[in-house]
Amino acid sequence: MDSSLLGENDAPSMLSYVVTGSRFGIGFFIPFVVLTFMMAFVAQEITARLGAASKAGHAELIYQRFGRFWGNFATGAKRAWCSISRSRTLT
């Protein structure tokens, strides 16, 4: 599993949930939080099952199926996202 996605509900995220809830009401807030948790779970589950079935990593499968450009793009995006997530948790 990707640790950057698991740590995405940190203090700044909770503050944005509170602001969203106060602005749009509880009727939007609760389903929104549930939906975002479900989407994160599904994305992680699909990636884990794909890796277990193919015995290859996510980036390796992108390189094989879509080529070097999209493989580099996906790897760069993931590295950027992880560094942003880590810098947000360190401050």
The predicted pLDDT at position 31 comes to 84
Contact 7, 89 (CB under 8 A): yes
User: Structural domain of residue 15, as residue ranges?
Assistant: 3-90
- Tokens 């599993």 sit on residue: 1
Domain count, the chain: 1
What are the pLDDT digits (tens) for 30-89?
887 788 889 989 988 988 898 899 998 888 889 999 999 999 998 998 889 888 877 766
Is residue 20 packed enough to be buried (19+ CB in 10 Å), middle (13-18) or exposed (0-12)? middle
CA separation, residue 17 to residues 25, 69, 83 (Å): 11, 36, 22
CA distance 9 to 65: 32
pTM passes above 0.95 = no
Is the pLDDT reported for residue 4 higher than 50? no
